[in-house]
Structure 1
């Protein structure tokens, strides 16, 4: 067993995420047998003195059959209507299933606001802490009934990665209808399953397929992104099939394991790197990219262009010449001030502007 899998197998606090396709069937709603099998695996791990937060998709899928909808709706209003019906069914099903083990569940509905705004973040943190201390199993979902296109997490994989850091999880387990990460579409017999991811070089250039069920929103693309987010923040990740939940939570000897970065990000740096909204972007030359990846401050000389209408104190993406984000940071200037400064060395800049554009303490690299 690899060191990463051992860390996951021995984790004291875990976040487990399960996708819609693992719990529901188009047109038929919740599959109680599948849900019970998942709960069996979680209850077994809890019985071995672990605390588990369950991030569960499936509310919209669970609402399709009662509303006589044959497939997942595309418009937001109908999605919210299905979620309002499905959330009740899903919560009831979990309460009954966990009740077989005398375990109490607590429903936690989140929007991105609850993670992006620092005060909301702390409130959510306290709620989770108290639920776990009282021996309950928090069941988390995006609050689809009130979320709008502008504030949606977009998928519960990202939500799970954010929750894992928020609750101080020792590991994140992502369960779906695919048994791991492949170097192509898993339905293609020529693709290879990747069992261990130790760093970015192991997954560069991988073309991953989407979930084939039509019920999920994230597919494998979002699972890989969530795994990278959590692992980059210092949390080991296991990506496995929901059908293998028992093995995944027992010895982690299935699926794909993502090794955690050596250092776990502080709550502030994690918020800055992965949860905060960005207001613009700064384009950097190659020298500046190398500097910030070594966690050096960004100076005006290394900037080649900018986008957005941001103010000093806003969070911006720092992108390379190919327009790929390499870091995030809190900018020290308004967008209107920078055009006169970019590309100029410190001695060419007016004295009142001789400071870092993004200080190293307010910068989080997105590459490992």
Structure 2
């Protein structure tokens, strides 16, 4: 067994994410038998004194049948209505199922605001910490009933990666209707499953297929992005089929394992890189990109070629290269109205009161492509 799988099997605090397709069907809604099988596997791991946070999709899927909807709605208002009905059914089903093991469930509904805003981020940390200390199993979902297009996570895979870092998890387990990461669409038949992903180069150029259930929003694209996010932040990840949840939770033997980066990002740097909302862009020349990404230096006005957006000093902005690709994120030290007169000028050329870094190295996080 690889070191990554050993770390996942031995994790004392674990985030488990399960997708809609593993819990619901379009015709009959929530599949209680599948849900019970998942809970059986989780309860077995909890009995080994592992703290588990469950990120569960399925609220919209669980609301389809009661509202006589034949398929997942496309419009936001109907999605919210289905989530309103389905979230109650999902929470009740989890409470009943975990109750078989005398385990208490705590429901946590989040919007992206709860991790984008630093004050909300800390509040969420405290809530999870207290629930786990009290022996409860937090069950997390995006708050689909009130989330708008502007504040949605978009999929629970990303949410799970954010929660894993937020609670200081030792590992992240992503469960879906696919048994691992393939080097192409597994439905084509001419693909190979990757059992270990040791670095970014192992997944460069991979074209992944989407889930075919029609119930979820993520597909393999979002699962790969979530796995890379968590692994890049220092958290080992296992991607496996929900039908293999028991083996995944006990031995971490199935699926695809993603090795973590050597160092774990601090909460602040993770928030900057993956959770914070950005309000603008700074365009960098090639020299500034090298300084910021490879040499981990502060961004100076001389390396900026242009700006986009309306932002104020203290906001988080994207740093992009000449091809408009984000290469880093950071906290900008100037208002958008101040920068046009400064960009491209060396520090000695600037007024004395403006001779400071545009983005300080301590407030800057290079992004993994």
CA distance in 1, matches of 2:281, 2:182: 32
1:324 aligned partner:
325
CA distance in 2, matches of 1:200, 1:346: 36
Q: CA deviation at 1:222?
A: 0.9
Q: Secondary structure at the match of 2:186?
A: coil
Of the structure 1 ranges 164-173 and 202-211, higher mean CA displacement relative to structure 2 is found in 202-211
- The answer as to 2:337 corresponding to 1:336 is yes
Q: CA deviation at 1:141?
A: 0.5
**Pairs within 5 Å for 1:1-368:** 1-293=1-293, 294-367=295-368
Instruction: Count residues with an aligned counterpart.
Output: 368
CA distance in 2, matches of 1:268, 1:65: 42
CA distance in 2, matches of 1:230, 1:220: 15
CA distance in 1, matches of 2:92, 2:261: 38
Q: CA deviation at 1:337?
A: 1.9
CA distance in 2, matches of 1:62, 1:261: 37
Q: Secondary structure at the match of 2:212?
A: coil
Q: CA deviation at 1:27?
A: 1.9
Q: CA deviation at 1:322?
A: 2.1
CA distance in 1, matches of 2:7, 2:345: 48
Q: CA deviation at 1:311?
A: 1.2
Which whole-Å deviations, capped at 9, do the CAs of 1:103-128 have from their partners, x for residues lacking one? Answer: 11111111111111222222211111
Q: CA deviation at 1:352?
A: 2.5
CA distance in 1, matches of 2:129, 2:359: 34
Q: CA deviation at 1:157?
A: 0.6
Which whole-Å deviations, capped at 9, do the CAs of 1:309-346 have from their partners, x for residues lacking one? Answer: 11111100111222221110001111122222222222
Which whole-Å deviations, capped at 9, do the CAs of 1:253-309 have from their partners, x for residues lacking one? Answer: 111111111111111111111111100111212221221123210111222222111
CA distance in 2, matches of 1:183, 1:307: 37
Which whole-Å deviations, capped at 9, do the CAs of 1:161-181 have from their partners, x for residues lacking one? Answer: 111111110000011111111
Q: CA deviation at 1:34?
A: 0.9
CA distance in 2, matches of 1:306, 1:241: 44
Q: Which runs of 5+ in 1 are unaligned?
A: none
Of the structure 1 ranges 352-361 and 6-15, higher mean CA displacement relative to structure 2 is found in 352-361
Q: Secondary structure at the match of 1:121?
A: helix
CA distance in 1, matches of 2:146, 2:122: 21
Q: Give the TM-score taking structure 1 as reference length.
A: 0.97
Which whole-Å deviations, capped at 9, do the CAs of 1:188-241 have from their partners, x for residues lacking one? Answer: 111221221122111111111111111000111111111111111111111111
Q: Which runs of 5+ in 2 are unaligned?
A: none
Of the structure 1 ranges 109-118 and 49-58, higher mean CA displacement relative to structure 2 is found in 109-118
CA distance in 2, matches of 1:209, 1:350: 54
CA distance in 1, matches of 2:321, 2:220: 25
Q: Secondary structure at the match of 1:187?
A: helix
Q: Secondary structure at the match of 1:4?
A: helix
CA RMSD of aligned residues (A): 1.2
Of the structure 1 ranges 340-349 and 48-57, higher mean CA displacement relative to structure 2 is found in 340-349
Q: Secondary structure at the match of 2:162?
A: helix
